[in-house]
Chain A
Amino acid sequence: MSFDWKWEFTWAILPRLLAATLNTLMAAGIGYAIALVVGLALALGQRSGSRALTLALREFIEFVRSTPLVLQIFFIFYVGPQFGITLSPWVSGMLAIGLHYSAYLSEVYRAGIEAVPRGQWEACRALNMSTRDTYRRIVIPQALPASIPGMGNYLVGIFKDTPMLSVIGVAELMQAANSIGSETYRFLEPYTMVGVIFLAISLPVAGLVHLLEARVRRKLGM
């Protein structure tokens, strides 16, 4: 086979690819939402004061961060049924990607919380604020802006990792390209268009994150 790009074929498969792109965006969005919440729990759990819990969470985060996401996806998808819990591809995919990125996001939160000056904590204590109020009203509002750049980078990261969900059959962009390829025996256009779609989304988002970062830095006087 030689190189022959067919435009009619490209236009014919484009609607199908764009529909799958919506699924990809949804997967990234749901995964990110899980990661944001679980990541915060992991970060706050490490500050609970219990040494055993802190140590266990640190080890868990290290483990998740240093093993491949694609293997974690397989693990969650196949191990459930072995113990009688059957998860659909979507549910296990979202769980895997959400958990994976929650480990990264917890580090972002942790750095943000640690960057809040000591004086703020002491002032809260002097004002007799409860721990809950200290976090909710003083610490987290100040830690959040500092964490925005890191959070934005992982949003782009999660988006770029969604193609791995195709390995367990989640109907996202990569999966659509794979099935087009195996139906028509043409791989050039689908795979190339997947790359183009990814570029078209991730480059502007990365640019926006960069702008946001500059703005946050200026506001924080950094």
Chain B
Amino acid sequence: MSIWDFLETYGARLANGTLVTCAQFLFASMVAIVAALLAGLGRMSGNWFIRSFSIIYIEIFRGTSLLVQLYWIFYVLPLFGVSLPKFIAGFLSVGLNVGAYGAEIVRGAIRAVPRGQWEAAYALSMSPARRMRRIILPQAFVLMLPPWGNLLIELLKGTALVALIAVADLMFVAKQINGATFLSAQAFGVALVVYFVLARFLITPFMRWLERTMSRRLGRI
């Protein structure tokens, strides 16, 4: 079967799978960004309870595998009375996993905002919340964008694992087609190319654009 015949026959199913992958990616990114901000700020909090909670979250999710976390959230959490549909369990575990790595980026970026900026905000008698929101975070945001670009590609790759709890994403569809037809090179090859295109021609250019826009807004260019 030529690749064109293959695409004609299975293109629609692969496209559906790609849509599910994109949805997983978007939801997981949101979870990751929120978790990273909360844990990154929490790690620097003066309150020991918030601080240790953030450290435990970061270390547990960075110290174990995404696959272990995914299985645990999907198969074990129901025993505690929290049953999540597979779609939600999927993006939640990917997001929480990536968020733990993101927390370190957030912390590093906030630390990298020059001391003078903190002191100036203090001298203007801004409240800590206002200082964070108006002075520190906007500058930290520009600093953390480049590493987040890489992390979001890791996140996209991570979403392929949700196929293992039977979320019908691109990976899952490719596996199904492979199982039914044994056209492995075509099925997995097309999926590989789609992931590559998503990463290199959508996520990377978008992040570059965001970096440029944000630095212009802060008057850095």
Q: Using CB atoms and an 8 Å cutoff, list the residues of chain A in contact with chain B.
A: 1-3, 62-63, 65-72, 74-75, 78-79, 81-83, 160-164, 166-167, 174, 177, 181, 187-188, 191-192, 194-195, 198-199, 202-203, 206
Contact = CB atoms under 8 A, between A and B. Distances in A.
Q: A63, A66, A164, A195 — which one has the most chain B CB atoms within 10 A of its CB?
A: A66
Nearest to B161: A70
A187 B161 contact: no
B76 A187 contact: yes
Contacts of A67: 157, 192, 195-196, 199
A199 B157 contact: no
Nearest to A173: B68
Given A66-B199, A71-B192, A198-B65, 15 more contacts: A66-B195, A66-B200, A67-B195, A68-B156, A70-B171, A71-B174, A71-B191, A74-B188, A75-B192, A78-B178, A164-B67, A187-B76, A195-B60, A195-B72, A206-B63
Contact of A63 (B160, B161, B185, B196): B196
B81 to A, nearest CB: 8
Contact of B171 (A1, A62, A68): A68
Contacts of B59: 199, 203
B124 to A, nearest CB: 36
A78 B182 CA distance: 8
Chain A interface mostly: helix
Given A67-B157, A70-B161, A174 B188 contact: no
Contact of A78 (B78, B158, B184): B184
B75 A181 contact: yes
Contacts of B71: 174, 177, 187, 191
Contacts of B12: none
A82 B64 contact: no
List 5 A-B pairs, minimum CB-CB distance, nearest first: A68-B160, A78-B184, A66-B199, A68-B157, A75-B188
B114 interface: no
Nearest to A187: B75
Contact of A79 (B76, B78, B188, B196): B188
Given A3-B80, A66-B153, A191-B75, A202 B161 contact: no
B68 A1 contact: no
Contacts of A82: 182-185
30 contacts: A1-B78, A62-B200, A66-B195, A66-B200, A67-B157, A71-B191, A72-B192, A75-B192, A79-B185, A79-B189, A82-B185, A161-B65, A162-B65, A164-B67, A164-B161, A167-B164, A174-B68, A177-B71, A187-B75, A191-B68, A191-B72, A192-B72, A194-B68, A195-B68, A198-B64, A198-B68, A199-B59, A199-B60, A203-B63, A206-B63
